Chain A
Amino acid sequence: MTLAATAAGHGFLSPSGVEIAFVLVGIATLGAAVLTVTTRQLVHAALWLVVALGGVAVAYLLLTAEFIAWVQVLIYVGSVVVLLLFGLMLTKAPIGRSPDADSGNRWAALVVALASAAALVWVVVDAFRATWINLDGAAQGSTEASGRSLFQYWVLPFEALSVLLLAALVGAIVLSRKSGEGEAAAASLTNGAARAPAAPAPREEQR
């Protein structure tokens, strides 16, 4: 009703090429995300995650948010997934199926996922149902526009988030240091004083 009134000329029955592309990318992203959680091969899951995150980046691009799209690729595909793969290879990443890559919590997880997805979809649809992006005008998601809104209207959340990240960073350092010293102390207790100085952990492992 309000939808039809405000969105005159933007009918759902005559989608533009960009809208069709957006839906297709969304379907591909969803498919990759489902495969990420259902595949039994750990490294395949990480690689499907790359596809899903890349799909989200393309969706950002189609919404004219160019800056956010590249940041998505840089942070998630370039760093988070590489870190994930690094961790997998460092611990256990067999080729083929991992029999233990399953969890008894799958139904609870499904419920939580569906609930959060429903909440997100509801909020987004409710907030933006009559908003249309003018593709022909100035880009609304350009670097300059994003920067202005971030540092004019959203400075406080931005800074709060950076404090949160700093806390996480400090926490990680504290955790790794404590365990390192504890092991060294334990080693010196069990092995005697003679061998203790000879076994400091390499610096890189303490980080």
Chain B
Amino acid sequence: MSDALDIALRLVAVFVVFLVFPLVIGQTEHKVMAHMQGRLGPMYAGGFHGWAQLVADGVKFAQKEDIVPAGADRRIFQLAPAVALLPYLLVLVAIPIGPHNAVGQALDAGIFFVLAVMGVGVLGSLMAGWASANKFSLLGGLRTAAQLLAYELPMLLAAASVAMAAGTLSLPGIIEAFHWWWVPWQIVGGVVFFTAGLAELQRPPFDMPVADSEIIFGAYTEYTGLRFALFLLAEYAGIVVLCALTSVLFLGGWHGPFGADGLGWLWTLLKTVILAFGVIWLRVTYPRLREDQLQKLAWTVLIPLALAQIALTGVVKVVISS
């Protein structure tokens, strides 16, 4: 009975995180972008600092009519937002935030689980792009697929480097094995992982698939109301997952700097939030990459860098163990 209760409590905790964190990231994005770009719009709703902007957005999305285009493939069109969003909920189950088994479910092959399930989320964008019966949507879907194929590989290779260093595929196991000098040792892999993750989430500067000035809003052009909100939520959930994963794999998770481990899960949270801030910052700073530049970056820069990181990891690992 206590086992069942334990599992239920963990799942509820993960679900609460899944419901709260993406919204916090969304609100932060509103505010940070407003400050960085001197925008006044998001600063009015509710009075102080526009705190109610997110609520207003939610009400707006809920009020909108849910439209399915006449020529669309109804079932797939309606299913796509769920396929895009649910993988991130599953991924959160496996990400550890603190010591002493503070994780939804410790998995033996945690890295593989996380990367595999994150890749499934892209199917949602593909389904949306195809089922909308809209040329711009189809183009967006195509760009999404091309981007995923280009960036899945460097992401995997960078993660493999950390797994080699730790000698385990389990996420808590990797943090257990972490030492401070892993940060300079794995820094290249970390940058590759984070960049590839941004591209997989279609965040600027890698937002070719939703480039509003070229193809309206890519695969999500035909969506309105709550289904559209679900796609947006999937993007923010993706940011949470990517930042948490990067901090777990490359920044030591709950280990603080200089051996200050006392705070535990707060360190994980702090690193995740700082990385998420960086993601938002990149959005307001960098222009969009062109499709060919994007592919070139993946195949000629990120993959060689990731391979070099794996070679370095292997060499150092052998030197240490001998």
Chain A interfacial positions (CB closer than 8 Å to B): 41, 43-44, 47, 50, 66-67, 70-71, 73-74, 77-79, 81-83, 85-86, 89-90, 93, 95-96, 139, 142-143, 202-204, 207
Contacts and interface: CB of A to CB of B under 8 A. Distances in A.
26 contacts: A43-B130, A67-B108, A73-B116, A74-B112, A74-B115, A77-B123, A78-B115, A78-B148, A81-B123, A82-B119, A82-B122, A82-B148, A83-B145, A85-B123, A85-B141, A85-B145, A86-B126, A89-B126, A93-B130, A95-B71, A95-B131, A142-B109, A143-B109, A143-B169, A204-B291, A204-B292
A78 B73 contact: no
B116 A85 contact: no
Q: Which 10 A-B pairs have the closest CB atoms?
A: A78-B119, A74-B116, A70-B112, A86-B145, A73-B116, A67-B109, A70-B116, A70-B113, A143-B109, A95-B73
A47 B127 contact: yes
Contacts of B152: 78-79
B117 interface: yes
A89 B129 contact: yes
Contact of B119 (A41, A79, A142): A79
B149 interface: yes
Contacts of A204: 291-292, 295-296
Contacts of B156: 74
A59 B127 CA distance: 25
Interface string B114-148: 01110110110011011101000010011001101
Given A78-B119, A82-B148, A85-B141, 4 more contacts: A78-B148, A85-B123, A86-B145, A89-B141
A207 B116 CA distance: 25
Given A77-B123, A95-B71, A139 B108 contact: yes
B76 interface: yes
B120 A89 contact: no
Given A70-B112, A143-B169, A83 B149 contact: yes
A65 B282 CA distance: 40
B34 interface: no
Nearest to B131: A95
Contacts of B169: 67, 143
Contacts of A93: 130
Nearest to A57: B116
A142 B168 CA distance: 11
A85 B131 CA distance: 12
Interface string B198-237: 0000000000000000000000000000000000000000
A72 B104 CA distance: 22
B120 A86 contact: no
B54 interface: no
Nearest to B71: A95
Contacts of A86: 126, 142, 145-146, 149
Contacts of B292: 202-204
Interface of B: 71-73, 76, 107-109, 112-113, 115-117, 119-120, 122-123, 126-127, 129-131, 133, 138, 141-142, 145-146, 148-149, 152, 156, 168-169, 291-292, 295-296, 299
B180 to A, nearest CB: 26
Given A78-B116, A79-B119, A82-B149, A47 B142 contact: no
A85 B126 contact: yes
A47 B71 CA distance: 19
B120 A66 contact: no
Chain A CB within 10 Å — which of B108, B141, B146, B168 has the most?
A: B108
Contacts of A143: 108-109, 168-169
A93 B133 CA distance: 10
Nearest to A54: B120
Contacts of A66: 107-109
Contacts of B107: 66
Contacts of A85: 123, 126, 130, 141, 145
A82 B145 CA distance: 6
B117 A73 contact: yes
Nearest to B76: A47
Contacts of B71: 95
B91 to A, nearest CB: 12
Given A66-B107, A66-B109, A95-B71, A78 B130 contact: no
Nearest to B121: A78
A74 B130 contact: no
Contacts of B138: 89
A86 B115 CA distance: 20
Contacts of A70: 109, 112-113, 116
A92 B240 CA distance: 36
A47 B126 CA distance: 10
Chain B CB within 10 Å — which of A89, A96, A139 has the most?
A: A89
